[in-house]
């Protein structure tokens, strides 16, 4: 597992000062660190599309934030991505839990979305990376470079045990 305090410090050094989204248990420890963080302000959102709106508004005001959501929430943010973030070219960093793989065999509610998660991202033309404990900084630097160069949303998929026990 990645040390979540180090992970958030890295994001804060990269200029992120706001986080919002809807929790997933895969981010349990991340949220504990987030609520303690002095550098990154956290606002709980009621829906993932609302969270996209908040981060886009925050960016229009000149600051950067990121999004945390479960892959089920990818199904909620289609219009927010296509007709806001992508249309206006707003860079958006999204951490999306990758539910519905082998460890989720007992969670049928995640299986269909787990099967189609990468297809959904590809269909929306959103570049994505899978975060691993090894080389996480490298992955994040790549994702952030693409986000900044393209001024568009990018997605970092987070499997079980990577950002929480």
Q: Which residues bind another protein (CB under 8 A)?
A: 18, 41, 43-47, 49-63, 65, 79-80, 82-84, 87-90
Query: Nearer Cβ to another protein, position 44 or 161?
Result: 44
Q: Work out how close the CB of 35 gets to another protein at its nearest, in angstroms, rounded to a whole number.
A: 14
Q: Work out how close the CB of 18 gets to another protein at its nearest, in angstroms, rounded to a whole number.
A: 7
Alpha carbons 59 and 92: distance in angstroms, whole number: 9
Query: Nearer Cβ to another protein, position 22 or 131?
Result: 22
Query: Nearer Cβ to another protein, position 55 or 160?
Result: 55
Q: Work out how close the CB of 110 gets to another protein at its nearest, in angstroms, rounded to a whole number.
A: 23
Q: Work out how close the CB of 1 gets to another protein at its nearest, in angstroms, rounded to a whole number.
A: 30
Q: Which single residue is written with the structure tokens 């479960």?
A: 70
Q: Work out how close the CB of 118 gets to another protein at its nearest, in angstroms, rounded to a whole number.
A: 25
Query: Nearer Cβ to another protein, position 63 or 159?
Result: 63
Strand partners, 94: 67, 155
Tokens of 134: 């090894």
Query: Nearer Cβ to another protein, position 60 or 105?
Result: 60
The answer to whether 147 and 85 have CB atoms below 8 angstroms apart is no
């Amino acid at each position: 597992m990645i040390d979540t305090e180090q992970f958030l410090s890295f994001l804060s050094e990269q200029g992120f000062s706001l986080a919002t989204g809807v929790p997933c248990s895969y981010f349990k420890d991340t949220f504990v660190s987030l609520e303690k963080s002095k550098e990154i302000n956290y606002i709980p959102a009621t829906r993932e599309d609302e969270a996209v709106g908040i981060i886009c508004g925050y960016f229009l005001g000149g600051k950067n934030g990121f999004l945390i959501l479960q892959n089920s929430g990818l199904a909620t943010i289609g219009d927010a991505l296509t007709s806001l973030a992508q249309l206006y070219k707003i860079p958006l960093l999204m951490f999306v839990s990758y539910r519905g793989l082998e460890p989720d065999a007992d969670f049928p509610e995640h299986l269909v979305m787990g099967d189609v998660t990468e297809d959904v991202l590809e269909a929306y033309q959103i570049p994505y990376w899978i975060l691993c404990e090894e080389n996480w900084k490298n992955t994040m630097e790549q994702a952030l470079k693409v986000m900044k160069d393209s001024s568009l949303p990018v997605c970092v998929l987070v499997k079980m045990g990577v950002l929480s026990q």
